[in-house]
Every structure is written in structure tokens, then in C-alpha cells.
Amino acid sequence: MKRNVGIAGMGCYLPDRVMTNDELAQYMDTTDQWIQEKLGIKERRVASPNQALSDLAYPASVQAISNAGISAEDLDLIIVCAINHDKRAPSTAVILQKKLGVSGCAAFDVNVGGCPGSCYALVIAQQFIENGMCDNVLVVTGDIYSRLVDITDRSTSVFFGDGVGAAVLRPCRDNKGFISSTLGADGMWGADVIVCEGGSDVPYTAENIAERKIGVRMNSKEVWKFATSIFPKIIRTLTEKAGMTPDNLDWIIPHQANINMIKYGMNELGQPMVKAYTNLDKYANTGAGSVMIALAEAVNMGIIQPDQLVGLASFGAGFSWGGVLLNWCDEDDFL
């Protein structure tokens, strides 16, 4: 029998190191004013040299597990979604499992190209609880972009920051938690638009590094076209599946990449910006962590309340996208 799924606890972790736009401008031809006007970003967080992804994931996970009212020993599955994992092998999920001091539960990594990761990972986790295989699933999404992006490249480095979000999913009563969800991709259009090299196609070699072939590249014009069309489409799809309209939503949490992109999408939906929770001014684009960090912050600050309808929309590389519509749970809603 299919079970309902809700988010029982949220957590997030942002590194202590703050990099302002003025500091970033030392490495390229840009200004604080330009970045704020074009993107809405004032600063971002940067991981310290001795921090791996699992080091960011651990405190976010501990917070989410505590807020869910369970212990790490109760976990049936750990999913970590990122592009810049600790190692090629083993999975970051297994490394995180060790740091949490538990063993036995399943653990695996997911890579859906960064920015679409928040919703992709949540929908993947949803399936394991819906079908009865798991009762408690920890989902961690985020990245350390400062190790991937060329800080002198204005076309990419102004966008990104480091950070991780985490959620614990559990079974919940009917008509609460996940109401609808959607996943998709358009590789025909987007497979070559946002690219992070360093795989089997263009491997890490001294020659490729010297020729600056490794790292992130992006066609911003095509990204804008995609994002401004897919964001409102995600929200409309979610609400149509649920027999609702965007007007019914209390909150919309979109991918945190560009404030003007978000404003454009909210206008297309006919929704006021006060319904969009944003924090990209503080954290920039944390990729797979983007939506999850914003959701965790809004929930843990008490901004999102039980019985409110929340639409999540994540999208990015590969021109992949995902969305989740939630009727936010109270602690008494979990089974």
C-alpha cells in the first residue's frame, strides 16, 4: 500500500568563511554593485581547505535528525546529492554514515548535475518510503563549488557558494507531506550549456589542467531562457497535479541562482515576491543545496508553519528540473 511521505526535520550548514563581492572583485573585472544588480548576491560562504563535503554534511545531518525526533541509528537510508563528492569511491553517503557513528543502513550518492539536486534527491527518497522499503531517510544536498570554479572567471564564479542542506523524510498521515512531484530533463537543449569537466570525457590530467579545460563553464543567455521558462512551468505542473493553482500556495522556494530570474518567474505565475523565500543574497548559488538550504532556514526560523502549502522548484545543468508540492507537516502528523 502506498504511504504518504513528509519532511520531519530540516538542517543546514554554511561554512564560517564569508567572501563578499568586493573581495571577489579583486580577482576579476566586476563590482559589488554589478553583482547585486544582476544577481542579487551580496556574499557567499567558502569552505576551509580542510573541509570536505562530508564535513559540511555532518552538522546539517545532525540538526535534521535531531529536529525529526529520531536518532541516527533509526535511519534506513542515507542519500547524498552533489557533484563534488569527497572521493570517487567510496560514496560520500558512506563516509557520512561513519561520521554519524552508524552502520547497516543503505547509503548511496546521487549526481544530477548540481542545481536540480534538491528536488531530484527528495523525490528519489520519497519512493523508498512510499513503497514501504524505508521508514526514515536522510537526504543531504549541497556542494563545495569553491574547489571547482575558477575564481577569475566572471561568467561562473560570481554565482556560486559552498553549503549543504539536509532533510529527514518519514511516513505521515494522508493529505499531508508530499502532495505532488515532478522530474524532467531536456538534454537535447541543455547537455552542453552548463558543464563541469573532470570526468571520463575530459579527465584530470596535467595537460588538461594547464590548458584550463577542467572546471565549470556556462552559457548564461541560454541558462536564463531555460530557467525563466521552467520555473513557472514546474509550479504550474505541481499545482495542476494537485487540483490547485499557484494562488493556493503559501510559499514558493525556487532555485537560488539569480534574484531577477526569480522575480521574472514569480511575475509569470502572477504571484507576489513576498511568497518567494530567498536567501541567495547571503549564500549565492549552492547548487544542489540551494532549495534545501532555503527550505531548512525558513522552517527552522518558523517562517513556514504546519498546514501551509509549499512549492519547491530546482533546475539547472543538463537542463534538468524537479519540483515538490508539500502540505507542511506538524510533528503529530508522522506515523
Residues carrying an active site annotation: 115, 255, 285
Q: What does the alpha-carbon distance between residue 268 and residue 276 come to, in Å, rounded to a whole number?
A: 13
* Neighbour tally for 212: CB within 10 Å: 12
Backbone phi and psi for residue 314, each to the nearest 5 degrees, phi listed first: -125, 145
**In the beta sheet, which residues pair with residue 216?**
196
Compute the C-alpha angle 66/69/71, nearest 5°.
65
Q: Which residue matches cell numbers 557513528?
A: 101
Structural contact between residues 286 and 145, judged by C-beta atoms closer than 8 angstroms: yes
Query: Could you tell me the three cell numbers for 53?
Result: 563535503
List all residues 6 or more positions away from 181 whose beta carbon is below 8 Å from its beta carbon: 119, 122, 123, 126, 238, 322, 323, 324, 325
Q: What one-character-per-residue DSSP string does 63-124 give?
A: HHHHHTT--GGG-SEEEEE-SS-S-SSS-HHHHHHHHTT--SSEEEEE-S-STTHHHHHHHH
Strand, helix or coil for residue 38:
helix
